[in-house]
Amino acid sequence: MGSAERHPTISEELPVTTIDRDTPVLSLRSRLGRWDAKLSPYLYVAPFFVLFALTGLFPLLYTAFVATQDWDLIRNSGTFVGLQNFADVLSHRQFWIALRNTFSIFALSTIPQLIAAVTIAALLDRNLRAKTFWRMGVLLPYVVAPVAVALIFSNLFGDDYGLINNTLRDLGLNPIGWHTEPLASHVAIATMVNFRWTGYNTLILLAAMQAVPRELYEAAAIDGAGRLRQFLTVTIPQLRATLVFVVITATIGGLQVFDEPRMFDSGGTGGPDQQWLTVTMYLYNLGWGQFDFGRAASVAWILFLLIVAFGLVNLAITSRIASTEGRRS
């Protein structure tokens, strides 16, 4: 925000040009013209804000209201209970397990996913034969519906007759308890998430890589840098802003992971010992399983605050990177 001190902003300039102390009475036409100039911009941006208010802000506030009620979905009414729902949820063992699982799945999916996406993007950035084919190929899993992905992977991760465990048994190894061990179930779910999102992130990173000026590579090559060295000291630093974007979207998506764990077994309630219960599934179970919308709404708000907190951490990192870049130039 340092720039605001140096340059006057538009809003500071406006009053100077529009004060009409000495001007004569304007005609209707020119008055309309001035309103047009003043109001039109707001009108142009209004659709977004109206839509946001209807589909974003209203549900958000309404959810906050419901969270303070012992809510009856069907009669659409409730009695005020203050923060009782929050207290209840925070005292539930299942909530904390769900939080643990969410972060575990998030870490297991985001980190390998980004490493893989950067690597694949670097490979695709080279001069390949049938470039478009490969580039579209990595996006293919993204097009597949998550439910279909879950069906395919459930064949892979079956406990007794799944492909992986069958192979392990044939090799004389112990089968893995995909649906009993929390960590194994997280790995399985993270695999599905990665299958779906790696290609998407790859394409975003690839686009950013192609924007890196080629002279930098030429200069690096003249200085004697090899492929790896070029990748580490030219490509990666140039990708920083894009990486931050990818990390933020992956965070938001990762903290809301729902489809994959819900489809991980036939019950869809997160496992007999809540091995893969995530926060959004916990919310769903409260809302649609027990019809306790008060508690479900309070979980929604806790999740919202968590994501905001993560967003702020990300923002801090972003601005730090931006300022280091500014210093360099």
Partner 1 sequence: MPRRTLMAPAIGALSLSIALAACGGSDEGTGEEADGEVTLTVATFNDFGYTDELFDRYEAEHPGVTIVHNRAATSNDARANFFSKLGSGGLADIEAVEVDWVPEIMEYSDLLADLSDPELEGRWLDWKVESATDADGRLIGYGTDVGPQSVCYRADLFAEAGLPTDREEVAALLEGDWDTYFEVGHTYVEATGNPWFDTGGGPYQAMVNQIAAAYEDPETNEIIVADNAEVRAAYDQALTEGETLSANLGQWGDDWRAGIANGAFATMLCPGWMLGVIEGNAADVEGWDIANVFPGGGGNWGGSYLTVPGSGANVEAAQDLAAWLTSPEAQLEAFANVGAFPSQPETYDSVELLESTNDYFNDAPIGEILIDRANAVTVAPYKGPNYFAINDALHQAITRVEDGSQSAEESWEQFLSDVETLN
Measured from the CB of residue 318, what is the shortest distance to partner 1 in angstroms?
27
Tell which one of 120, 190, 234, 300 touches partner 1 (CB under 8 A).
300
75 binds partner 1 (CB under 8 A): yes
Phi, psi of 11 (to 5 degrees): -65, -25
CB nearer partner 1, residue 199 or residue 261: 261
Q: Is 273 in the site for partner 1 (CB under 8 A)?
A: yes
Q: Which of 30, 79, 180, 324 binds partner 1 (CB under 8 A)?
A: 180
Which of 147, 152, 308, 316 binds partner 1 (CB under 8 A)? It is 147
Instruction: Find tokens 């904390």 and name the residue.
Output: 96
Residue 296 burial (C-beta neighbours within 10 Å; 0-12, 13-18, 19+): buried
Asked if 251 touches partner 1 (CB under 8 A), the answer is: no
Q: How many CB atoms lie within 10 A of CB 158?
A: 16
Residue 162, interface with partner 1 (CB under 8 A)? yes
Q: Taking CB under 8 A as the rule, does residue 70 contact partner 1?
A: no
Q: Does 58 bind partner 1 (CB under 8 A)?
A: yes
Size of the site for partner 1 (CB under 8 A): 52
Task: Specify the stretch interacting with partner 1 by CB under 8 A; choose among 3-11, 119-127, 226-234, 252-260.
Answer: 252-260
Largest alpha-carbon pair distance within the chain?
95
Candidate residues 185, 265, 276, 298; the one interacting with partner 1 per rule CB under 8 A: 265
- 167 scored as a contact of partner 1 (CB under 8 A): no
Spatial distance between the Cα atoms of 300 and 86, rounded to a whole number of angstroms: 10
Which of residues 85, 176, 179, 201 is near partner 1 by CB under 8 A?
A: 179
What is the C-alpha to C-alpha distance for residues 10 and 17, in angstroms, rounded to an integer?
A: 11
| Distance between CA atoms of residues 313 and 9, nearest Å | 28
Could you report how far apart the first and last alpha carbons of the chain are, in Å?
A: 17
Residue with tokens 């209707």: 28
Q: Could you please report the per-residue DSSP string of 117-152?
A: HHHHHHHHTS--TTHHHHHHHHHHHHHS-HHHHHHH
Candidates 283, 298, 301, 302; binder of partner 1 (CB under 8 A) is 283
- The gap from C-alpha 225 to its chain's centroid, in whole angstroms, comes to 35
Question: By the criterion CB under 8 A, which residues form the site for partner 1?
Answer: 58-59, 62-63, 66, 72-76, 88, 92-94, 146-147, 150, 154-155, 158-162, 177, 179-180, 256, 258-259, 262-263, 265-269, 271-273, 280, 283-284, 287-291, 293, 296-297, 300
